[in-house]
Amino acid sequence: MLFNDLINFIRKEVNRGLKKIPLPKNPKYLYDPIRFILDGSGKRFRPILVHLSGRSSETDPNSLMKIALAVELVHNFTLVHDDIMDNDYMRHGKPTVHSKWDNSTAILAGDGIFAIAQILLCSLPNRANKICQFFNQTTLELCEGQALDKQFENDLNITQEQYLEMVEKKTGALLGACAALPAILNNQDKKTIDQLSQFGKAIGKGFQVHDDLLEIYGDPKKMGKSLGSDIREGKQTIMVIKARKEFPKEWELIISNSREGDNLSVFRDFFKNNGIKRETELLAKKYFSSARHSIKNIKISNINELNNFVDLIEKRTF
């Protein structure tokens, strides 16, 4: 099977699995927004990585799917709550839960989704305790990453190193778990689990740095949201940190003017003309190369599939 066909097949199976999760009709206040979330059209990169990692050995497909669905659920749990905190009103071209309903409904729906993820993992026939422990530690890291992200807003002293620490938690931790959890399920040795975790975390860093680029240079129709909002919200993205450090006076002027209207074209020109766009592209490339290097010496049969997955993330346009 060609790699793209494999990815499309896994994505369809994950979508089918999400729709098959049994949800009661009542109370509608809880389950209607959960259905709305699970009917979304996410890219499913995280459950795809779970399946690709699990294909490296003879993994029980039913158990693998439960882990894949659980990581997609916890990802959506974080998105629902993050959208409230970040005042975002569009997600994948659809209204966010809190904008379609209200904040209270969205908070409860996110909590419900997290509980469903736990139920799925607790039903695993083998090594459920170890998997749940790793999964919950990962979820706590996600919360730490979001806390840092909020703490960093409008803080003009945040460094690139602090930003990357935040990214490793907020984005890298879950991708690291996606790569490592199948190895835990298969009772593989600690070194292999750690290498796979580092593989996923490196992808996560590259993913987020690349996402910062797409937030400025992407296609708003493909992205499913307005561009430049992170900067206007005071987010300390990698390009903002570089601009603030290397061109403080010019950047302060641009930010002051941006409050008066939509300055996306000004952001684009500034980052490109001052080499910040190129520096950011090279940083993302560095992390994707690091991901490939981290699994070089792991004895797995489908290493090409994992490397192809890195290519898929690196070349994405939305």
In sequence order, what are the beta bridge partners of 91? 94
Least confident of 104-108, 139-143, 235-239: 235-239
Show Cβ contacts of residue 187 under 8 Å, excluding neighbours closer than 6 positions: 127
Q: From CA 69, how far away is CA 77, in angstroms rounded?
A: 12
Interacting residues of 5 by C-beta distance below 8 A, sequence separation 6+: none
Q: CB under 8 Å, gap of 24 or more: what pairs does 255-263 form?
A: 255/231, 258/228, 258/231, 258/232, 259/232, 262/228, 263/228
Max Cα–Cα distance, the chain, nearest Å: 60
- Rounded distance, CA 167 to CA 152, Å? 12
The whole-chain average pLDDT of the chain stands at 92
Q: For position 144, what pLDDT does the model report?
A: 97
Give the per-residue pLDDT at 14: 97
Q: Do the domain assignments include residue 165?
A: yes
pLDDT for res 193:
94
- Mean pLDDT value across residues 237-250: 95
Whichever domain contains 98, its CATH number is 1.10.600.10
Q: What is the pLDDT of residue 259?
A: 61
Identify whether 306 is part of a domain. Answer: no
pLDDT at 166: 97
Considering the domain boundaries, does residue 139 fall inside one?
yes
pLDDT band at 224 (very low <50, low <70, confident <90, very high): low
**CA distance to 48, 89, 272, per residue, from 278 (Å):** 29, 30, 7
pLDDT digits (tens, 9 = 90+) for 90-99: 887 789 999 9
164 in helix, strand or coil?
helix
The whole-angstrom separation of Cα 212 and Cα 280 is 9
Is there a domain that residue 107 lies in?
yes
Which has the minimum average pLDDT: 54-68, 140-154, 170-184, 276-290? 54-68
Cα 4 from Cα 32, distance rounded (Å): 33
Q: Which residue has the tokens 């729906």?
A: 109
**Residue 317 located in a structural domain:** no
More confident residue, 225 or 146: 146
pLDDT for residue 262: 65
Beta-carbon contacts of 216 under 8 Å, excluding residues fewer than 6 positions away, are 227, 228, 231, 239, 264, 267, 268, 271
Distance separating alpha carbons of residues 150 and 107, to the nearest angstrom? 17
Q: What pLDDT score does 223 carry? A: 65
Whether residue 309 is contained in a domain is answered as no
What is the mean predicted confidence (pLDDT) over 201-229? 85
Where residue 219 falls among pLDDT bands split at 50, 70, 90?
confident
Domain holding 50, by residue range, is: 3-301
Q: Where residue 220 falls among pLDDT bands split at 50, 70, 90?
A: confident
Q: Is residue 316 part of a domain?
A: no
Instruction: Please give the average per-residue pLDDT across 68-86, as a whole number.
Output: 96
- Looking at the structure of the chain, the number of domains it has is 1
Report d(CA 124, CA 177) in Å as an integer: 16
Give the CA radius of gyration of the chain: 20
CA distance 135 to 228: 33
* 94-95 and 90-91 strand pairing: antiparallel
Out of 177-191, 211-225, 274-288, which region has the weakest mean confidence (pLDDT)? 211-225
Q: What is the DSSP string of 79-116?
A: HHHHHHHTT--EETTEE-HHHHS-HHHHHHHHHHHHHH
Q: Is residue 307 situated within a structural domain?
A: no
Q: Average of pLDDT values for 175-194? A: 95
pLDDT average, residue stretch 234-241 = 91
pLDDT of 171 reads 96
What tokens appear for 291 in the block? 């991901």
pTM of this structure = 0.93
Token pair, residue 40, equals: 């979304």
